[in-house]
Amino acid sequence: MKKIYYSIIKELCINCGACVVISPKSFTIDENKKVIESKKYTENLEEIESILLAKKVCPTGAIVTEEI
């Protein structure tokens, strides 16, 4: 089964919120209004696809993924 690790490079993220809109199960906004990952790994195919789309759309290239 396909599983991916994903992460936001904090120094690159401009908190635009696009990833939260595209993949609300994978990204969220914390109490300091910073966009963060909801978790670090997922095996859910639908979620993986949305994370990869968010990665493509992210204006600063702040999302990194790795298939594991």
Instruction: Tell the smallest beta-carbon distance from residue 18 to ligand SF4 (Å).
Output: 4
Across 28-54, b (16+ Cβ under 10 Å) vs e yields eeeeeeebbbeeeebeeeebbebbbeb
CB 60 within 8 A of CB 12: yes
When binding is defined by CB under 6 A, the residue of 4, 48, 51, 62 that contacts ligand SF4 is: 62
Task: Tell me the per-residue interface mask from 1 to 40 with ligand SF4, x by CB under 6 A, - otherwise.
Answer: -------x----xxxxxxx---------------x-----
Rule CB under 6 A: which residues touch ligand SF4?
Answer: 8, 13-19, 35, 58-60, 62-63
